[in-house]
Structure 1
Amino acid sequence: MSLGKVSVNNLNLGQGAVSAIECYFLFIGPGAKSQGQLIPLNTDSDLDVMLGIPASDLKTQITAARLNGGDRWACLAAPLAADGNWQDALTKAQQQGYSVEAVVITKPVTTAAELSAMHDAAQALQNTYGRRAFVIASSVGIDAADQTWSEYLTEQKAIVEGLAAPRVICVPQLHGNDLGVLAGRLANAAVSVADSPMRVATGPVLGLGPVPVDSEGVPLLSAIRSELDKARFSVTQTYTDYPGVYWADGNLLDTPASDFQVIEHLRIADKAARLVRPLLIRRVADRRLNSSANSMAVNISALMAPLRAMAKSTTFAGQVFPGEIEQPKDGDIVLTWKSKTAVEAFIKVKPLNCPKDLTANIALDLSNDATE
């Protein structure tokens, strides 16, 4: 004999959204106020109140980032003392639970070792916290009193020669606030993480500092920018007879032939990883993921859902606004059982083609169309 029992359970199928951290950056650098603190900022923040009235490089870069970041811009600031350590500020932010897409270090570097340490720190975030981030660093601008452009190029190239740091962008502070301008351009929610900072349709950069000159009074030329770009620095650029100052590629300090030489490729891979990771965590010791054909198909479909969302496009006024990646297809996700308890997922993310070098060929038609 037994008594009747009825239970109703709520089943959590893991169909909710994953918190997005894209376009949220951490700025670290010497500041006049609130040293040692972590300060959230947005477009409404009074930077004189939050970061101090005296000028500081941190406030200068954040001001430029806010101007270029659009109406949804926000960031986290970590002011340091003059002799402060950016590693300590980064660790503190992580320990307090702040997840950011990028770390912007405003104090210019002078050696490859400093850039290498920044890459190591970004990699450590992934190893320790499972968080993916890239670093935007800066190098000093030209010394107009003592340097020619040739001398400046030699000095700058020496900083990155032989360096492999695929999670680091280095921006020469040619105009004084280039670092903040790029950080804001990358954090602008009006564009996608799949968009290059080179995108002209985004508009010109805003609030860029004065055009630098060398010790001989020669202003910054396109040839100088081109040489810095070849050396993997990220710089501004202009187009002859086309108004405005724009940006070149967001170059990463990666090796030749790498998949991650430009920032938009790293950003879409990182975004996909952030979306997939919680789905994998929910499947730990869940027997609904097993080696049966039905289970494999169901779980492949579930892991493909965030990729389909990233690939979603919108058609408006006759124009197609593409998603961040190409639409995933069968075979783009493969699950492999390495043992009875270990499964490995292989996921393909394909960026859309993007024109950066455009050429028009014009021919004359001299035929005689007159009829007899």
Structure 2
Amino acid sequence: MALGQVTVDNLNLGQGAVTEIERYFLFIGPASKNVGQFIPLNTDSDLDATLGVQASDLKTQITAARLNGGQRWACVAAPIGAEGNWSEALEKAQQQGFSVEAVVITKPVTTAAELSEMHDAAIALNNTYGRRVFVMAAVVGITAQQTWAQYVTEQKALVADLAAPRVLPVPQLHGNDLGVLAGRLAKAAVSIADSPMRVATGPVLGLGPVPIDADKIPLSSAVRSELDRARFSVSQTYPDYPGVYWGDGNMLDTPASDFQVVEHLRITDKAARLIRPLLIRRVADRRLNSTPNSMAVNTNQLMAPLRAMAKSITFNGEVFPGDIEPPKDGDLVLSWLSKTKVAAYIKLKPLNCPKDLTANIALDLSTDKTE
């Protein structure tokens, strides 16, 4: 015999949104106020009140970032002392739960070891916390005693044999280049799949004065090109076209690697952040099993973030593309390595993007025949 029972449960199918951290950066650098604290900032923040009235590396770069970041710009600032350690501030930020897309270190580096340490720190964050970041590093600008030839030689030697694919070095040629680029990358009106080179984004704002060398020669396109070839990220101009723009966001990756520019790393990291919680929810869940139905259902569910990243918008007859091309069958494969281990293989395909355009113009000197 039994008594009738009715139970109604809510099933959590893991269909909610994942909190986005893209375009949210952590700035670490010397400042005169709130040393050792973490200060959320946005476009309304009073930087004198939060970072001190005195000029500082941190305040200068954040000011430039805010100007270039658009209406929805926001960041976290971590002021340190003049001799403070950025790595301690970064670790403390992790312990306090700050998840960011990039870490912007405003004190200029002078050695390859410092850049290597930044890359190691980025890898350690992923290993320890599952948090993916890239590091934007300020590199010293030219001094009054240097010629451009001496400066370029010095900077090329700095990164010559360095492999640090999660580090984006920015020479402080104008004094606030790092902040300008950080703001450009954080602009909500632009996709993370877009290069900072994109002219349609508009000219950079608030870039410092044009630097000159010991011979009073201003910064030239030739110097910029040489620094770009050495994997630095620099501003650029176009003759007879108003405004100052930017070049590629170069990472210190090795030749022929996939992540030599920042937009490729950003879309891969975004996909990883979206897929990771979906995998966590499937731990010890027997609904993911090796039966054909389960494999098809879970493959479809795990591809949902890729479909969202590929979503485009058509407005006024023009298509604004998503972050990646729409995924196809076979772009995500689940493979059982044992009874308890599953490996997911995922392919992302960035859209083509023109960075080198050539127009070939020919004359038509034929004589039209008249009736």
Query: TM-score band, normalised by the shorter chain?
Result: over 0.9
Other-structure match for 1:290: 289
Cα distance in 2 for residues equivalent to 1:304 and 1:46: 43
1:279 matched to 2:270? The reply is: no
Other-structure match for 1:350: 349
1:57 matched to 2:23? The reply is: no
Other-structure match for 1:340: 339
Supply the AA of the counterpart residue of 1:102: A
Cα distance in 1 for residues equivalent to 2:45 and 2:196: 25
Other-structure match for 1:93: 93
1:108 alignment partner, SS class:
strand
Cα distance in 2 for residues equivalent to 1:82 and 1:211: 27
Other-structure match for 2:47: 47
Other-structure match for 2:199: 200
Cα distance in 2 for residues equivalent to 1:292 and 1:18: 28
Superposed counterparts of 1:1-372, under 5 Å: 1-144=1-144, 146-372=145-371
Cα distance in 2 for residues equivalent to 1:328 and 1:190: 24
1:90 alignment partner, SS class:
helix
Supply the AA of the counterpart residue of 1:70: G
Q: Quote how far apart the aligned CAs of 1:370 are.
A: 3.0
Q: Quote how far apart the aligned CAs of 1:80 are.
A: 0.4
Q: Quote how far apart the aligned CAs of 1:312 are.
A: 0.4
Q: Quote how far apart the aligned CAs of 1:222 are.
A: 0.1
Cα distance in 2 for residues equivalent to 1:184 and 1:25: 9
Cα distance in 2 for residues equivalent to 1:44 and 1:64: 14
Cα distance in 2 for residues equivalent to 1:93 and 1:138: 20
1:65-94 CA distances to partner (integer Å, 9 max, x unpaired)?
000000000000000011100000000000
Q: Quote how far apart the aligned CAs of 1:234 are.
A: 0.2
Q: Quote how far apart the aligned CAs of 1:237 are.
A: 0.3
Cα distance in 2 for residues equivalent to 1:167 and 1:32: 29
Supply the AA of the counterpart residue of 1:116: S
Cα distance in 1 for residues equivalent to 2:204 and 2:290: 52
Supply the AA of the counterpart residue of 2:101: E
Supply the AA of the counterpart residue of 2:247: A
Supply the AA of the counterpart residue of 1:97: G
Cα distance in 1 for residues equivalent to 2:141 and 2:258: 29
1:106 alignment partner, SS class:
strand
Cα distance in 1 for residues equivalent to 2:92 and 2:138: 22
Cα distance in 2 for residues equivalent to 1:314 and 1:20: 20
Q: Quote how far apart the aligned CAs of 1:26 are.
A: 0.2
Cα distance in 2 for residues equivalent to 1:83 and 1:230: 32
Cα distance in 2 for residues equivalent to 1:63 and 1:196: 22
Q: Quote how far apart the aligned CAs of 1:352 are.
A: 0.3
The TM-score, its normalising length taken from structure 2, stands at: 1.00
Cα distance in 1 for residues equivalent to 2:228 and 2:164: 16
Supply the AA of the counterpart residue of 2:191: S
Cα distance in 1 for residues equivalent to 2:116 and 2:55: 29
2:109 alignment partner, SS class:
coil
The CA RMSD over aligned residues, in Å, is 0.5
Cα distance in 1 for residues equivalent to 2:220 and 2:174: 13
Runs (5+) with no aligned partner, structure 1: none
Cα distance in 1 for residues equivalent to 2:91 and 2:252: 23
Supply the AA of the counterpart residue of 1:364: L
The TM-score, its normalising length taken from structure 1, stands at: 0.99
Q: Quote how far apart the aligned CAs of 1:371 are.
A: 1.5
Cα distance in 2 for residues equivalent to 1:340 and 1:57: 54
Cα distance in 1 for residues equivalent to 2:108 and 2:60: 13
Supply the AA of the counterpart residue of 1:138: A
1:122-163 CA distances to partner (integer Å, 9 max, x unpaired)?
00000000000000001111112x100000001111110100
Cα distance in 2 for residues equivalent to 1:37 and 1:320: 44
2:357 alignment partner, SS class:
coil
1:164 alignment partner, SS class:
coil
Cα distance in 2 for residues equivalent to 1:294 and 1:351: 30
Cα distance in 2 for residues equivalent to 1:192 and 1:127: 27
Q: Percent sequence identity over matched residues?
A: 79
Query: Would you say how many aligned residue pairs link Structure 1 and Structure 2?
Result: 371
Cα distance in 2 for residues equivalent to 1:273 and 1:56: 35
Cα distance in 1 for residues equivalent to 2:317 and 2:44: 36
Cα distance in 2 for residues equivalent to 1:108 and 1:83: 12
**Structure 1 runs of 4+ off > 4 angstroms?**
none
